[in-house]
Structure 1
Amino acid sequence: MSGQSKIISLNITQFPQNLLIPDLENNVSIQVKNNSDKIEKFQFVFEGENLDIAFKSDILKDPIEFGPDETKTIDLMLKPTADGFGKLIINIYHIKVIEYTVKVQKVRKFIPKSMISKIFEKYTLKSNEVIDPINRDEYIASMTIKDLEKVEKQLETMKNSYLSTQTMNSTAVENSGVIRIENIDSIIKKLAKGHLYNNNISKSLELALELSNPNDQFDFYYKLLRVYATTNTEEAIAIIKKLKDFETKQILFKSLVSDKIDTDPTQSFKLTENIDDFILRTKLQFNIANILKKRENHPELIKVINQIVQFLLKSLDEIDDRKIQKRIYEFLIDSMHILAEIEEPRLVDVIIDGLRIPKRKEQIKKDLFDTIYEIVEEIRTKSELETVFSQFFLLNTFVSDITLDIKDFSSKGGNLSNNLILKDFNFNIAFVSLFGFSFSLFPIMDRVYNELKNNSNNSFAYYIFPSTEDFQKNELSNLKNTLTQFFQNFTYLHNQLIVFNLDFIPYLGTPTIILSEESLLAEKIKSKIGKISDKINIISDNSLFEGGKILDSLKQIFPSSKCAIINFIFSYEFLNDYNMLKTVIQSLC
């Protein structure tokens, strides 16, 4: 057992002194006081061996908070489940809140310094990556349908005239002033521009392919599509996608991105999806993002950077070329830097935590550490349980044969030693206390009983019947029946049983024992006690015990052939000197 600490005080105001039986309310009431001048929390743990414990309040399910100097009452009810003894174990823990400092990695609220301008500058397009802007007016001619028909007839006439000159020699052609191929090309371009003005892109492109010089065909075709895409982007893209030559398609897509980058950055960004050159595509996307930043289009900038990040993460999984992977990773780190700056580092941390490949996740965290994370000292608290009270209590229990006499016996505070309950008659002396006092004899008698039983070979029995009715008929019957029930197997006694009819008298100034008679047995008892201490006063006085129905009842129950009854009185001095009481009883065993 261990006692209680200074932080808490316990006062057990109600505790069963009787034999515990299931049919009675065996109540325990404990007053608990917090001795601290602060709010404290305590955890109460009640355990029972051969005991069911019922709590009269739900407060014990969780730690209980006590205010400064506050006292709370805890009420329990015990129900025995086996013959012999029940063990009530009480443990109380102080929940100590301890503060300690740890260094932890946390996501920054803001990046430590701006890097966005430096990153965008790094991805400025080189001269060979820049496509010159196109002048839309150079490739559109304002013409009506009638104008177009007139020019088409003119073109037809010129073509026929040109064909007729093919049979002349060069000198004749030179002198005739007839149509040259350059003149036809000029009319073709004029007509194509007119059809483009009228949104007839198919006819316009068809005419471009009629130009005499293949290089002129491509250049004019390419520029007509660029101009058309300024107002009809989706249709232009559909035409480009149908082209068979990959290089031509890529040139056109790059041109469309370049043409839209200033007028419609959002659409320009979408057009970059068609560019196959990964590095150029990403650089163009960074340039588009830079334009959005300069125009302070914050929502669209966030959207674009998020798309870049997701595209790069996907590309890392799909592209095997290590050289390109290295560039992708560089782009990714820079785009995450930008996202952390224009939004907040927390969003980038969420993206990183969502990555499936642990090695990649850790590498990105490492490379972005100074931007996204910081090491800070953080005060944390932890709870530690400190035992402030730990004690167990042994209580005698009986459940197997509950008669009305047993109920009455227990109700009046009756109790008896564990060996009597278990019918273990390995003892030579028994103390029978049949008088009521203002205090209970059970705690001190049971303590002596258990200590002698556990620490030596000495054993005795005790039976406590605190009379409250001066042994009137019903009470006397209850006494006889319970004594008979518990002392019924005298055949198991190995030696003579000495029954001490026990009583206590007030203080006499000296520890005093009074015996009932002068006899050989009494002399042996006096001799044993005398060897303990010369401070004990032993008196033989039979006049104090003559006659009486109690003694007669005891003689009826304890046969003289097996038992000897000795009237035995302790003065109260023994109640205040436990060790002396224990030594006396031990000497008699």
Structure 2
Amino acid sequence: MAMSESYNNNVINVETIQFPQHLLLPSVQNILKLRIINNSDKQENVRLNISGERVDITIKNSDSDTISIPQNDNKVLDLEILPKADGFGIISIEVEWFKVVQFTVKVQKVRENVPTEKTNEIWQKYTPPPSLEPEGFDPNEFLLDLSKGEIKKLNKGICKLEDELEDTPPEEAIKIADLKNELSECLQSLIKAYIHNQEFDNALSIIREHSNEQNKEYLLRNAIRAYFFIDFESMISAIDLIDDVNDKSALMKTVSLDLIKKNPSNALQVLEKLREERDFYVRGIFQIILNFLNNSQNEQAESLLMKLFYLAKNGENINYDLMKDVVYSIAEKFTPQKAEKVILSIEDQQLKEKLAKDLFDDIYRMVDEVREKIEHRSIASYRYRVNISTQQGENFTKFAAMGGNVSDNILAGQFDFDILVVSLISQNFSLFPTLDRLYSDIAQQDEKQIGYVIFPSKESLNQEELPILSEVLKRLIASKTQAIQMKIYNIDFIPYLGKPTLIIGAEESRGLPLKEKLERSLSSVNINLNTDLFEGGKIIGYLMKIFNQQITRPINLVFSYEFINQYEEFLNCINLLV
């Protein structure tokens, strides 16, 4: 008996193409075949949810309960059933389709480029104020290429001028002024020569010993600025040791601005000495970044932008505006993807979300994206009730292999019935579905019970078949005390006669009352009593012998094929026998 349910869909179809019509035994191969058809132009996946009561079920030709079916193809699954008890078993099968469903969602994507360039406007905020812009300074004007001999000669000339100046009486003011001017020019030439020859200590000594305070400050600042171009490494190390300079911080700012365009890497080292002066430091870094970008030194520029980012993020107080400007600059000058990575690196979730929100239109865009999800849809379910037994023996195996079957109440030893229907001749069709349905309907509708045995003999119970049937009937029924109370009806079928026709084969004393009883309720059925040709036969003799002559002589009932198509008439007829 089977109960099934399927759900409309045009993609996957499921059909049962083979169902075991025989009694299920452990010694027999019990195969239920399902065909799953894929009507789509792509691979589809289904899963079989299988359970059994009093039976074990395995998918014989698949290692998994999830099945992949190629496009426009089908797959046949062999379900092997192993009985574990006597009576009936339940097979439950649900076919679940992994349906791929496409849907559209708005998705945040990182842009390829920023929509509008803003760095020129943003970076205006980080231009050094005019007060810090150095006056035009050419270090070459503070260098003089003299040989050692020329420097020696110049030193002698300076000494001579100093002696002459000392010997000149005060009243010769004009001469003194001329000597001082000449001496000043010689000293400046000597300072420039020492700087050119990388003898800064000598230049510094000249400045300290021979300059007045006003001239000394001018010479010292310009000597330092020039020497940063001549020997940067020495100067950057020595600058902290020079104490003669007033407002050294201002000088270092000037030096850094001197170097930015000509040597930005050196300018960066100078700026590191001004790190505590945060505003100028940030402005200077931005100027170096701009210089790097103008010279296609993108890697160095990106590194400095990240330096500013960490400075803004990790300081005592977060400089949010600087952080935002830096991240935007990375997006425009490099890629929005790099800017997003910087945002994602922020540990503070609230800060991360704020920055992403404020820069959303510059870094991100919303696009429609088609996605897929898997919906698990039940497309078919089956529940089969099958007759099962754990009986062993060669004849039982042969009985099942030939298509023999027995109602589950007999198999379970429940003899609460007195009508036994047997079909012992092979037909052109399987009688099991009809008899099993009949068995269930009588039990459910009228609360009555019958038993049945099917053995589709192909050789009229010859010497090979009769022992098989005999052992099955003796072991399952004839050996039971209830057997002597049973009425046995041996049924057979003949071709269509144009109208449902039943021939009762029995002696008149038993057949006539039965005929009259049936005619009272079955007006649309032709009922004939035959006490000759259909009354006996070898099968009746075999049954009497199997039951040791202890049963009432079985009655033959021969139905025309119309009863197979008109099931209700068949049900009513058998029901009247109970």
Tell me which interval the TM-score lies in, with the shorter structure as reference length.
0.7 to 0.9
In the other structure, the counterpart of 2:204 is 205
1:475 and 2:471 matched? no
Structure 2 gaps, min length 5:
none
Check if 1:574 corresponds to 2:570.
no
Q: Give the whole-Å Cα distance in 2 for the aligned partners of 1:139 and 1:12.
A: 103
Partner of 2:311: 315
Mapped contact 2:23–2:405 kept (Cα < 8 A): yes
SS at structure 2 position matched to 1:487: helix
Q: 1:258 to 1:514 in 2, by over 3 A?
A: same
User: 1:441 — aligned with what?
Assistant: 431
Which residue of 2 is the match for residue 82 of structure 1? 84
Q: Offset of 1:394 from its aligned partner? A: 3.2
Superposed displacement of residue 121, structure 1: 3.1
Q: Taking structure 1 as reference, are residues 565 and 392 closer, same or farther at Cα in structure 2, changes over 3 Å only? A: same
- In 2 relative to 1, CA 130–30 (structure 1 residues): closer, same or farther, beyond 3 Å? same
Shift of 1:339: 2.4
Distance across 1 between alignment mates of 2:511 and 2:431: 24
* Residue of structure 2 equivalent to 1:107: 110
Q: Is this contact kept in 1: 2:89–2:387, CA < 8 A?
A: yes
Which of 123, 127, 131 aligns to 2:130? It is: 127
Does 1:418 find its partner at 2:408? Answer: yes
C-alpha contact 1:496 1:564 (8 A) present in aligned 2: no
| In 1, Cα distance between equivalents of 2:436 and 2:246 | 105
* In 2: Cα distance, 1:218 partner to 1:457 partner: 124
CA distance in 2, matches of 1:486, 1:245: 124
Contact 1:513 1:538 in 2 (8 A): yes
Asked if the contact 1:100/1:381 (under 8 Å) is kept, the reply is yes
**After superposition, where does 1:339-488 map in structure 2 within 5 Å?**
339-398=330-389, 400-453=390-443, 457-487=447-477
Shift of 1:436: 0.8
Q: What's the TM-score once normalised by structure 2's chain length? A: 0.83
How far does residue 535 in structure 1 lie from its aligned partner after superposition? 1.9
Specify the code of the residue in structure 1 equivalent to 2:23.
L
1:161, 1:179 within 8 Å by CA — same for their partners in 2?
no
Contact 1:133 1:259 survives alignment (8 Å) = no
Matched residues, percent identical? 27
Matched, 1:516 2:505: yes
Q: Does 1:56 align with 2:61?
A: yes
Q: Using the alignment, how far apart are the partners of 1:489 and 1:255 within structure 2?
A: 121
**3-state DSSP of counterpart to 1:283:** helix
Once residues 65 and 233 of structure 1 are traced to their aligned partners in structure 2, the CA distance between those partners, rounded to angstroms, is 74
- Pick which of 513-522 and 115-124 moved more: 513-522
CA gap of 1:394–1:236, structure 2 versus 1, over 3 A, is: farther
Distance 1:347 1:585 in 2: 85
320, 323, 326: which is aligned to 1:329? 320
* Mean Cα deviation higher: 335-344 or 93-102: 93-102
- 1:193 is matched with 192
Query: What secondary structure, in the 3-state scheme, does the structure 2 residue paired with 1:287 have?
Result: helix
> What does the per-residue CA deviation read over 1:301-334, in whole Å, with 9 as the maximum and x for residues that have no partner?
x33442244223322442123xxx3xx3222322
Shift of 1:128: 1.9
Give, in angstroms, the shift of residue 228 of structure 1.
Answer: 1.6
Partner of 2:263: 264
The 1:131–1:548 alpha-carbon spacing in structure 2 relative to 1, beyond 3 Å, is same
Q: Which residue of 1 aligns with 2:488?
A: 499
CA shift, 1:347, in A, is 2.3
Rate the CA distance shift 1:375–1:508 in 2: closer, same or farther, 3 A: same
SS at match of 1:261: helix
Matches of 1:544 and 1:564, distance apart in 2: 16
Q: By how many angstroms is 1:351 displaced?
A: 2.4
Determine the structure 2 residue equivalent to 1:275. 274
Contact between 1:516 and 1:540, CA under 8 Å: does it hold in 2?
Answer: yes
State the number of aligned residues.
570
**CA–CA distance in structure 2, aligned partners of residues 438 and 363 of structure 1:** 81
Matched residue, 1:66: 71
Give how far 1:198 is off.
1.3
CA contact (8 A) 1:48 1:86 kept: no
* Cα distance change of structure 1 residues 187 and 17 upon mapping to structure 2, 3 Å threshold: same
Listed as ranges, the matches of 1:31-50 within 5 Å are 41=44, 43=46, 45=48, 47-49=50-52, 50=55
SS at structure 1 position matched to 2:21 = coil
1:551 is matched by which residue type in structure 2?
A: I
Partner of 2:18: 14
Unaligned runs of 5+ in 1: none
Could you tell me how far apart the structure 2 residues matched to 1:448 and 1:247 are?
118
The one of 130, 135, 139 aligned to 1:136: 139
Question: 1:466 is paired with a residue of what secondary structure?
Answer: strand
Shift in Å at residue 409 of structure 1?
A: 1.1
Compared CA separation, residues 6 and 279, structure 1 to 2 (3 A): closer
User: 1 CA distance for matches of 2:218 and 2:415?
Assistant: 122
CA distance in 2 between partners of 1:113 and 1:332 (Å): 19
What letter corresponds to residue 231 of structure 2 in structure 1? N
